[in-house]
Structure formats: structure tokens, C-alpha cells
Amino acid sequence: MKRALSFIGNMIFIAAVLYLCYFITQAVQDRSPSVFGYRMLRVMTDSMKPVFSSGDCIIVKETPKEELAVGDIVTFVSSDPSLQGNLNTHRIVDIARDYTNGEMVYYTKGDNNSWVDDYTTPYEEIVGKYIKTLPFGKKFSELLAKLSDRDYYFAIVIVPILICFISCILQLMRDIRKRVK
């Protein structure tokens, strides 16, 4: 029984390490994996100051269309050619029906901007609704920025994870040898 629990624990650890590697890799590449409908994002500009500013980390949550309203802050895939399809986080200032296809579109604006965004956003492009700013988000954002440098990434992330992974594999091999005997 003890060996079975040890084996199960090792398998859970391996799965958690692999998922952590995936999560960190995605975050470093400015992609945000969804975990139970939540995403953590790094803020790149001051367009939403004073709510949050460049360098902050925010949490957004996937939200049904019916729950979005004027005044909500949403993250969306921007149609603005200058943003090249990257994510943008702005406040909904108006919701209207698109006359070409009958779908709802959202007009957005950064709180620190004096203009409404030039491009509307359909619901399909909305990634999530802003939930909160992480308390130590600026420090975490700095760490992610450093991890974008391959040398830091290898030294801080890959080496320790490889050591843990190899240790876990060796423990599994020991457990298997004990079972065979």
C-alpha cells in the first residue's frame, strides 16, 4: 500500500511539474493558458491607469455574453492592425448590434485614453473579464520579463525542474525494482 501511494504521488508530481513547465513557457511567450477559466496576464501599457498600469499582472475570467455590461473591463484579441492581433484590456463603453451580421459588438476605451478604440470587438474575440490585479504582480511581471531571456530561463526554470524530474524518475525506478524482487 505504501509503495502504491508513493508511485501515485510520484506520478502526480510529474504531471504537476510538466504542467508548471507548460504554464511558465506560455507566460514567458506572452500567451496565457486558461486554468479553470481564469488567465493571468501582464499589462504592457498605461492605457488603463489608474485601475492598473504597465508591469502589473491581472486576472481575467471567461464570462458569458449575457454577463458583460457597459463599464466592465475586458481583455480581447484586438482587431487594430497596430496591435497585430495581440491581447488588449480596455473598458466597455457601449454595446451595439452589428447591422451586417446581427451580432453584438463592444466598443472599448482605455481609461487613460481620450478616445474610443477605432475597432469594435465581437464577443468571440473577448478572452475574459477583468477580476483583479495581483498584489505582487509587478515583481512577478519582472520575473517573467527576465525569463524571456533564454539564459535566465534555463538557469532559473529548466535546470531545477530537470533535477526534480530526474530525481522523481530515479525514485520510480527504485520503486519498480523493489516490486519486481
Q: How far is CA 78 from CA 35, 123, 181, in A?
A: 22, 12, 61
Tell whether pTM > 0.85. Answer: no
Report pLDDT for 130: 97
Instruction: Please indicate, yes or no, whether residues 152 and 173 belong to a single structural domain of this protein.
Output: yes
The three grid cell numbers given for residue 52, joined into one nine-digit string: 492598473
Domain CATH number, residue 106: 2.10.109.10
| 139 falls within a domain | no
Measured CA to CA, the distance from residue 94 to residue 72 in angstroms comes to 10
Domain count, the chain: 2
Instruction: Please indicate, yes or no, whether residues 100 and 41 belong to a single structural domain of this protein.
Output: yes
The tens digit of pLDDT for each residue in 110-156 reads 999 999 999 999 999 999 999 999 887 677 767 666 666 777 767 76
Q: Name residues whose C-beta falls within 8 Å of residue 64's C-beta, 6 or more positions apart in sequence.
A: none
Instruction: Please indicate, yes or no, whether residues 103 and 121 belong to a single structural domain of this protein.
Output: yes
Instruction: Please indicate, yes or no, whether residues 37 and 19 belong to a single structural domain of this protein.
Output: no
| 143 falls within a domain | no
Q: Which amino acid is at 142?
A: E
Instruction: Please indicate, yes or no, whether residues 22 and 61 belong to a single structural domain of this protein.
Output: no
Instruction: Please indicate, yes or no, whether residues 21 and 105 belong to a single structural domain of this protein.
Output: no
Report pLDDT for 160: 78
Report pLDDT for 23: 67
Report pLDDT for 111: 96
Instruction: Please indicate, yes or no, whether residues 44 and 101 belong to a single structural domain of this protein.
Output: yes
| Rounded average pLDDT per 10-residue block, the chain, 181 residues | 73 75 63 78 91 90 95 94 88 90 92 94 95 81 68 72 80 79 67
Domain of 122 in residue numbering reads as 33-134
